[in-house]
Amino acid sequence: MLEQTSRRRLDTAHNIEKEIGKLGEVFSRFSSLVAQQAEVVERLDDDVEGALGEVEMGHAELLKAQEVLRGNRALFLKVFAVLIALIVLFVLF
């Protein structure tokens, strides 16, 4: 009886040891996956920062283009007004 109890306890201890070993493997794999994900997150962060810089430069270029168009629009209106004035002068005289 005492021997059977000792044998069961020993078997239980071996099973616990195996489960702890498996748990160690799981934690090791989990640690590896976390490290890989950290690299991916770093790359994503770098890409987002790069994209933000590109968007800001694009926005600045669009603002410049808008100013050029506004200047061209004013010039176009002035030229059109001069042409209308010349046409009116030719028609009247």
pTM of the model: 0.51
Domain boundaries, the chain: 1-92
* pLDDT score of 2: 79
Report which residue type is found at 60: A
Which string of b and e fits 8-32 if b means at least 16 CB within 10 Å? eeeeeeeeeeeeeeeeeeeeeeeee
Query: Hey, what are 7's tokens?
Result: 């044998």
Residue type, 41: V
Residue 23 has a pLDDT of 95
Distance CA 5, CA 12 (A): 10
Kindly report, residue by residue over 34-79, the tens digit of the pLDDT. Answer: 999 998 999 999 999 999 999 999 999 999 999 888 878 888 888 8
Question: In this model, does residue 18 exceed pLDDT 90?
Answer: yes
Whole-angstrom Cα distance, residue 2 to residue 24? Answer: 33
> What local confidence, expressed as pLDDT, does residue 43 receive?
92
